[in-house]
Amino acid sequence: MIGWGVPTSQCCVPLRHALSAVLALTLSRFTRFQIVGSFLFFRVLQYVVRWYLFGKCTFRAFSYFGLRGRNRNSDSSRDLTVSVVPPNKKWRISNEAVSLIHSVVSGLWAAYCLLFYQQLFEDLINERAQAAVELVLVSFGYLLHDFIDLVVNEQSARIIELLFHHVVVITGFVVTLATNKYLGVVVFGLLMELNSVFLHTRSLMNLYGVKKKSTPFRLVALLNIITLAVFRVSVSFYLVYWAVSRFSLRESLFLFFIYS
């Protein structure tokens, strides 16, 4: 008994609820802190890459394609070295480099989770693994960074497709973190980043003017096709099969839309 004739068990019930609420709030704040930490890491990494490659952290924003059109008859534009790369092309190179780093980390991380936490593979909806949750938080921060980077610097029509992709993927992350469900689906989706490794590598080779008939370019192009089939197309087909076999058509389309 506690003072005033209130049983100890009854007194502890509100206290337990209060502690549970505080704990949930703390975890939520910690999750937000991790996302912000990841975001700041990739922002800093972006500037480090820019400084390492070009000796400066910021570039003037203007259309590289317009510049190329004005100078296409100029002899100086034919020999484009890194030191005189137009600002938007410098941004594209640094953006692709950071995206490549994220693809390597997240793709291998996703493969690790599926190999060593096979419960995620067996139960794509309810199974939880802290390593997989951390992967989602890191990728969440990266997507926020890249979203802002695109809005500030991208000046072509491709920004519509890229921003739409980022919004859809972020929505999938939010659903997973808010409901504590579909973590396995998210990890499978991030496995596709193993294909993005070679996609970004090929883009960088194009930006640096590597000849498409050269052996390195052909090798990267071949690996891009192979990983496209293995880690993107095959994974997408598996997720579609998994969703259709468990949910209605409408629910399956929704899951495939936000997680693939």
pLDDT bin (cut points 50, 70, 90) of residue 78 is very low
Mean pLDDT value across residues 226-245: 90
In this prediction, residue 258 carries a pLDDT of 54
pLDDT bin (cut points 50, 70, 90) of residue 60 is low
Between residues 226 and 85, the one the model is more confident about: 226
Cα 163 from Cα 143, distance rounded (Å): 10
In this prediction, residue 191 carries a pLDDT of 95
- What are the residue ranges spanned by the domains of the chain? 16-54+87-259
pLDDT in tens, 95-144: 999 999 999 999 999 999 999 998 998 899 999 999 999 999 999 999 99
Contact 138/105 with Cβ under 8 angstroms?
A: yes
- Three-state secondary-structure class, residue 6: strand
Tokens for 85, please give them. 């790369």
The structure's pTM equals: 0.77
Mean pLDDT value across residues 168-186: 91
Tokens for 108, please give them. 């291998």
Name residues whose C-beta falls within 8 Å of residue 183's C-beta, 6 or more positions apart in sequence: 120, 124, 127, 128, 129, 132, 133, 136, 176
Contact 196/99 with Cβ under 8 angstroms?
A: yes
**Per-chain mean pLDDT for the chain:** 80
Tokens for 159, please give them. 């920004």
